[in-house]
């Protein structure tokens, strides 16, 4: 059980180490920048997705947040892995699908990132502009409606005043119904005028009691009081006040303003379509129609044409009948999680506008390009830092290595014409080289305190490594494996056949392309040539015969090689093998890790 847990933990640790190595490489500046950008992309995408879920279903719990964060982490790692596969040319004919997958994943990352940055950069100012536009539109409609209310009140005032004047004149002098009338005093025309005065005065009072006056307060529940209450909220909705509020306070202010708008509009619509107005219009139209023909009062039939009164009756009826309807009191303002949804809508409408040019939805404006540019820039620089080469600053071009390194006598010149004991052999190179993280690595021993000095051939190996490092064919692996792990890997590969004892400390170097071939050629004795020509990279990737073997055959092949390895007898003393120059082909087959043996053990 413990071994199984250790194996799982080792696998997780090795995978995390490999991902970190792919992100950072050997360049600290590049690694820190790329890691920061990947972390920023993960955070913005996670927050954008959480905001989208919050706007739809409310704030998610801790478990859902953790799941979302893990899902976005997988998405981010998948983007970097796809870039690594495309950069290394390991996709084959699947390259178009990898490229399409990268584009899709990047669109997801940019979309949610844009929602996150738009929410925190532009949503407050956009909400204020939208609120101001909506309230201005509703204020204009309310101004028109209340203007018509004032006209109606004035018309009713004029009608009530004229009716009272006609009643007083009919009582005092008579003759208010034209030349056909009778004298002053009680009569059908006198009763008609008195009834008009009482009816129009009462009608005007009922309408005025619901409309109110401009000095009314909110407690009086009139239309004018509602309008004054709304004006207080609109006066508070200024850029200065809005900027000083946090998201919750701004949302509360907008909610109360919308509630005041809705209350004002609802009360106005109830008045406009209620019995007070409709009954008044019906009464005025009936009185206007009755004045055009003969009227009766008991058994008496008479006429009372009054053109002046007819004009005032018509004006009052039309002013009440033509009161305008008000639009819905909807403030299309988005804050918090709703702002993220609004940002997604803008981005989607803009991207799909070529397919549906007449769609009425909101699209991206000039101010929206700032958060969009931030989201695009993050993923763009992730792309640039991922595909650019992991080269050491100041390294020379590997193709421009000095010509004398290709000459048969170059290694002897480099050693200063020393003795044969100072010349490192292929065996020395073999004992200090192993395969790790898709590349060959060279472990150079370091003489620590209390240890014996390095032998001449190991010092020569270090000198050659310095030359290759300066030429850009060998780069220091600054992190990823400790000296203890290096010793363990060297012991795994060459523990039974080592010529030199293991050291406590090692410096690890990574062979770049053609670096191992160059170092091998430098160790070939004079007369055997100094050039090792490798096939192109794309051909080498497909010509590895071990990569094409079935896993069971690989395991069988590894066991066969292990059985063929010489093992010392128990009673015999094993002498260290003599150092000799061996052709590269005799050793490099066992250098690359065999599948299923030690390839999964990483530090």
Here the tokens at position 380 are 């763009």
Q: Which of 23-27, 303-307, 326-330 has the lowest mean pLDDT?
A: 23-27
Cβ burial 314-345 (10 Å sphere, 16+ → b, else e): ebbbebbbebeebeebebebbbbbbbbbbbbe
Compute the distance between CA of residue 416 and CA of residue 31 in angstroms, rounded to an integer: 39
The predicted structure's pLDDT at residue 556: 54
Beta bridge partners of 302: 295
The predicted structure's pLDDT at residue 227: 84
The predicted structure's pLDDT at residue 565: 46
CA distances from residue 211 to 24, 86, 148, 244 in whole angstroms, order as listed: 73, 74, 11, 36
Of 94, 113, 111, residue with least CA distance to 40: 113
Residue 507: its H or E element: strand 505-511
Of 2, 92, 36, residue with least CA distance to 542: 92
Compute the distance between CA of residue 347 and CA of residue 109 in angstroms, rounded to an integer: 13
CA distances from residue 561 to 213, 379, 554, 590, 594 in whole angstroms, order as listed: 104, 47, 11, 9, 10
Residues 45, 73: contact at Cβ < 8 Å?
no
Phi, psi of 359 (to 5 degrees): -70, 130
Tell me the Cα Rg of the chain: 46
Residue 157 pLDDT > 80:
yes
Compute the distance between CA of residue 107 and CA of residue 128 in angstroms, rounded to an integer: 29
Residue 414: its H or E element: helix 410-414
3-state class of 232 per DSSP?
helix
Q: What is the pLDDT of residues 320-362, one digit of tens each?
A: 888 888 887 777 777 767 777 788 788 888 888 878 877 777 7
pLDDT confidence band for 78 (50 / 70 / 90): confident
Residue 143 pLDDT > 80:
yes
Phi, psi of 455 (to 5 degrees): -65, 165
Give 396's DSSP letter: P
Compute the distance between CA of residue 257 and CA of residue 251 in angstroms, rounded to an integer: 10
Phi, psi of 567 (to 5 degrees): -120, 135
The residue behind tokens 């007369």 is 527
Compute the distance between CA of residue 180 and CA of residue 238 in angstroms, rounded to an integer: 65
For range 375-399, the mean pLDDT = 66
Residue 316 pLDDT > 60:
yes
Beta bridge partners of 510: 441, 475
Residue 579 pLDDT > 60:
no
Beta bridge partners of 443: 508
The predicted structure's pLDDT at residue 538: 47
Long-range contacts of 230-236 (CB under 8 A, 24+ apart): 230/142, 230/260, 230/261, 230/263, 230/264, 233/257, 233/260, 233/261, 234/135, 234/139
Compute the distance between CA of residue 189 and CA of residue 182 in angstroms, rounded to an integer: 8
Residues 276, 321: contact at Cβ < 8 Å?
no
271 alpha carbon, distance to own chain's centre: 48
Beta bridge partners of 507: 444
Higher pLDDT residue, 313 or 546? 313
CA distances from residue 93 to 10, 89, 96, 98, 106 in whole angstroms, order as listed: 33, 10, 7, 10, 21
For 569, counting Cβ atoms within 10 Å of its Cβ (0-12 exposed, 13-18 middle, 19+ buried), the class is exposed
pLDDT confidence band for 526 (50 / 70 / 90): very low
Compute the distance between CA of residue 214 and CA of residue 51 in angstroms, rounded to an integer: 44
Compute the distance between CA of residue 83 and CA of residue 77 in angstroms, rounded to an integer: 10
Phi, psi of 214 (to 5 degrees): -65, -20
The predicted structure's pLDDT at residue 386: 78
The predicted structure's pLDDT at residue 289: 84
The predicted structure's pLDDT at residue 405: 47
Q: What is the pLDDT of residues 28-75, one digit of tens each?
A: 777 788 888 889 989 988 888 888 888 777 778 888 889 988 988 888
The predicted structure's pLDDT at residue 589: 44
Compute the distance between CA of residue 563 and CA of residue 538 in angstroms, rounded to an integer: 34
The predicted structure's pLDDT at residue 17: 60
Q: What is the mean pLDDT of the chain?
A: 73
The predicted structure's pLDDT at residue 16: 61
Contacts of 85 (CB under 8 A, 6+ apart): 91, 98
Q: What is the pLDDT of residues 235-268, one digit of tens each?
A: 887 777 777 777 777 778 888 888 888 888 888 8
The edge-to-edge listing of strands for the beta sheet with 505-511 is: 433-436, 439-446, 505-511, 474-476
Residues 331, 133: contact at Cβ < 8 Å?
no
Contacts of 179 (CB under 8 A, 6+ apart): none
Residues 171, 190: contact at Cβ < 8 Å?
yes
The predicted structure's pLDDT at residue 555: 60
158 alpha carbon, distance to own chain's centre: 64
Give 596's DSSP letter: T
pLDDT confidence band for 215 (50 / 70 / 90): low
Residue 548 pLDDT > 50:
no
Question: What sign results for the dihedral spanned by CA atoms 361, 366, 369, 370?
Answer: negative
Compute the distance between CA of residue 75 and CA of residue 98 in angstroms, rounded to an integer: 14
Q: What is the pLDDT of residues 402-429, one digit of tens each?
A: 444 444 444 445 544 445 555 677 677 7
pLDDT confidence band for 590 (50 / 70 / 90): very low
Higher pLDDT residue, 179 or 509? 509
Q: What is the pLDDT of residues 441-486, one digit of tens each?
A: 888 888 777 777 777 777 777 777 777 777 777 888 755 678 888 8
Give 283's DSSP letter: H
Residue 291 pLDDT > 50:
yes
187 alpha carbon, distance to own chain's centre: 86
Largest CA distance in the chain: 157
């Amino acid at each position: 059980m413990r071994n199984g847990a250790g194996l799982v933990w080792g696998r997780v640790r090795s995978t995390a180490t490999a991902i970190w190595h792919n992100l950072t490489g050997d360049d600290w500046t590049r690694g820190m920048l790329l890691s920061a950008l990947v972390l920023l992309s993960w955070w913005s995408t996670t927050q954008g997705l959480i905001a989208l879920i919050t706007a739809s279903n409310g704030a998610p719990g801790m478990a859902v947040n953790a799941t979302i964060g893990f899902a976005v982490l997988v998405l981010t790692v998948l983007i970097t892995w796809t870039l690594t596969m495309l950069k290394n040319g390991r996709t084959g004919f699947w390259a178009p699908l990898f490229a399409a997958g990268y584009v899709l994943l990047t669109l997801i990352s940019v979309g949610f990132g844009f929602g996150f940055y738009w929410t925190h950069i532009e949503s407050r100012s956009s909400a204020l502009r939208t609120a101001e536009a909506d309230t201005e539109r509703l204020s204009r409609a309310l101004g028109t409606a209340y203007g018509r209310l004032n006209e109606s009140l004035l018309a009713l005032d004029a009608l009530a005043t004229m009716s009272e004047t006609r009643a007083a004149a009919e009582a005092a002098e008579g003759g208010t119904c034209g030349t056909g009338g009778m004298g002053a005093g009680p009569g059908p025309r006198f009763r008609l005028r008195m009834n008009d005065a009482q009816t129009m005065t009462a009608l005007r009072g009922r309408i005025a009691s619901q409309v109110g006056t401009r000095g009314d307060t909110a407690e009086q529940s009139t239309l004018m009081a509602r309008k004054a209450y709304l004006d207080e909220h609109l006066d508070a909705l200024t850029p200065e006040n809005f900027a000083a509020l946090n998201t919750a306070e701004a949302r509360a202010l907008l909610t109360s303003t919308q509630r005041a708008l809705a209350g004002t509009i609802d009360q106005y619509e109830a008045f406009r379509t209620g019995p007070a107005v409709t009954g008044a219009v019906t009464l005025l139209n009936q009185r206007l129609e009755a004045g055009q023909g003969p009227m009766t009062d008991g058994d008496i039939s008479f006429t009372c044409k009054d053109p002046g009164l007819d004009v005032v009756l018509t004006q009052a009826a039309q002013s009440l009948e033509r009161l305008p309807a008000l639009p819905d009191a909807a403030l299309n303002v988005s804050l918090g999680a709703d702002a993220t949804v609004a940002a997604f809508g803008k981005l989607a409408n803009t991207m799909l506008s070529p397919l549906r040019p007449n769609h009425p939805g909101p699209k991206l404006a000039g101010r929206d390009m700032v958060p969009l540019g931030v989201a695009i820039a993050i993923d763009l620089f992730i792309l640039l830092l991922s595909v650019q080469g992991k080269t050491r600053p100041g390294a020379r071009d590997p193709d421009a290595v000095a010509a004398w390194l290709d000459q048969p006598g170059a290694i002897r010149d480099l050693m200063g014409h020393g003795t044969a004991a100072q010349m490192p052999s292929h065996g020395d190179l073999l004992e200090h080289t192993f395969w790790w993280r898709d590349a060959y690595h060279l472990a150079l021993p370091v003489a620590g305190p209390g240890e014996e000095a390095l032998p001449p051939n190991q010092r020569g190996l270090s000198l050659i490594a310095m030359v290759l490092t300066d030429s850009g064919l060998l780069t220091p692996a600054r992190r990823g494996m400790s000296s203890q792990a290096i010793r363990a890997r060297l012991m795994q590969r060459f523990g039974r056949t080592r010529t030199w004892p293991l050291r406590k400390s090692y410096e690890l170097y990574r062979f770049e392309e053609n670096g191992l071939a160059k170092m091998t050629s430098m160790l070939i004795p004079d007369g055997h040539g100094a050039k090792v020509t490798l096939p192109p990279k794309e051909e080498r990737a497909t010509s590895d015969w071990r990569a094409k073997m079935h896993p069971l055959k690989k395991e069988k092949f590894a066991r066969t090689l292990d059985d063929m390895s010489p093992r010392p007898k128990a009673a015999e003393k094993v002498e260290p093998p003599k150092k000799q120059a061996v052709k590269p082909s005799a050793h490099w087959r066992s250098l690359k890790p065999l599948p299923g043996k030690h390839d999964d053990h990483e530090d």
